[in-house]
Chain A
Amino acid sequence: AQSVTQPDIHITVSEGASLELRCNYSYGATPYLFWYVQSPGQGLQLLLKYFSGDTLVQGIKGFEAEFKRSQSSFNLRKPSVHWSDAAEYFCAVAPGTASKLTFGTGTRLQVTL
């Protein structure tokens, strides 16, 4: 069975600083990987996804993520964080596009002005 680990429960960055949120997965083959963002009291919005091909994936809101098979990682990055990026971020994995998602425990991002 697949699993996802997000080592950082809470991260605080200053507005304008760069951001990297870590995600490690466990799966026997190459999984389908996702990053979602959740604002307080809201549902989830897809930031980006990786299925195959280029290991550097561009998403919405200026986010990108890099799939590294050797490290079983799919870390999310943003060069310059905005105050509106403060939210909960979830990494998720699935064995296929039509399969169930398994979510990590989430990383809460706080942005200081």
Chain B
Amino acid sequence: GAVVSQHPSRVICKSGTSVKIECRSLDFQATTMFWYRQFPKQSLMLMATSNEGSKATYEQGVEKDKFLINHASLTLSTLTVTSAHPEDSSFYICSARTGATGELFFGEGSRLTVL
């Protein structure tokens, strides 16, 4: 099946620094990618939807200046957490939708810990 890869899988950073998480569709072109945030023992909350070559659409309550999303190609979307703080510590999961079938595939997730 289609594969979506996230990198890094785990990252620890100091408060105030910025962290970039990559989401790649390895064997298909993803016209749309989604970024989710998951708190411990909770569900996935959609943060934003990104379409290749256009600005991301953020969900209500998500700070777009803090969570920068770039979808520069049909196989890569990046999430940059700017000026990270401990409350940004979370599990971030991306998903990619194939243009051909519309099917959705999820990455393995990236665990961010901000000290």
Q: Which A residues are closer than 8 A to B by beta carbons?
A: 36, 41-46, 90, 97-98, 100-106, 108
B106→A45 contact, CB < 8 A:
yes
Assess the A43–B107 pair: CB atoms within 8 A.
yes
A-B CB pair tally, cutoff 8 Å: 41
A44 partner, pick from B32, B42, B93, B102, beta carbons under 8 A: B93
Taking Cβ atoms with an 8 Å cutoff, the residues of B that contact A are 4, 6, 32, 34, 41-44, 46, 49, 91, 93, 95, 97, 102, 104, 106-109, 111
A-B residue pairs, 7 tightest by C-beta = A43-B106, A44-B106, A43-B108, A103-B43, A97-B102, A105-B43, A103-B44
The answer to whether B108 and A42 touch across the interface, beta carbons within 8 angstroms, is: yes
Interface of B is mostly: strand
With both chains docked as a complex, state the minimum distance between the C-beta of B112 and any C-beta of chain A, in angstroms: 13
Q: List 16 A-B contacts (CB under 8 A).
A: A42-B108, A43-B106, A43-B108, A43-B109, A44-B106, A90-B43, A98-B102, A100-B34, A101-B46, A101-B104, A103-B43, A104-B43, A105-B42, A106-B42, A106-B43, A108-B41
Bound Cα distance from A101 to B36, whole angstroms: 10
Q: How far is the CA of A99 from the CA of B32 in the complex (A)?
A: 10
With A100-B46, A101-B104, A104-B43 already in contact, the answer to whether A43 and B34 are too (CB < 8 A) is no
